[in-house]
Amino acid sequence: MNNLGRHLLAEFYDCESQVLDNVKWVEEQMNTAAILSGATVIQSSFHRFLPYGVSGVVVISESHLSIHTWPEYGYAAVDLFTCGDHVDPWKAFDFLCNTFGSQRTSVDELIRGRYSEIGIDPASPFKAIV
């Protein structure tokens, strides 16, 4: 790996509306997604809005997973930002796609902290390139 992290910006469309409005259920699924990706969960915080919608974040040792839902549109916006070689954000993406019942998705992957751009020598990642 020649970067510090990977960041998936995901859009889930045509999801099951009732599940997107259940704050406890959404939090459980986001925590499960983090674990399935290989991440270490630190804590999570979720909130249900009135009349509907859920926002939340799962803080992981390797960064975070966050979500905001619009149940009235069957839509969820999800960020999956992971660092390190042992965490796979695509495993979290696949799990959430299935668990939300999404009929179509859009996802972009951003590479975060490219070693060449921030002066890290891949052979010795704790020493800056001079």
Q: Is 55 a catalytic residue?
A: no
Q: What does the pLDDT read at residue 58?
A: 98
Number of domains in the chain: 1
pLDDT digits (tens, 9 = 90+) for 61-118: 999 999 999 999 999 999 999 998 899 999 999 999 999 999 999 999 998 988 888 8
Range of the domain at 112: 3-128
Which is the catalytic residue, given 37, 44, 63, 66? Answer: 63
CATH code, domain with 104: 3.60.90.10
Give residue for tokens 């992981």. Answer: 60
pLDDT digits (tens, 9 = 90+) for 8-54: 999 999 999 999 999 999 999 999 999 999 999 999 999 999 999 99
CA dihedral of 47, 57, 52, 73, whole degrees rounded to 10:
180
Q: Is 68 a catalytic residue?
A: yes
Q: Is 63 a catalytic residue?
A: yes
- When pLDDT is cut at 50, 70 and 90, the band that residue 125 belongs to is low
Residue 27, both tokens: 């939090």
Which is the catalytic residue, given 15, 83, 97, 102? Answer: 83
Is the pLDDT at 128 greater than 80, yes or no? no
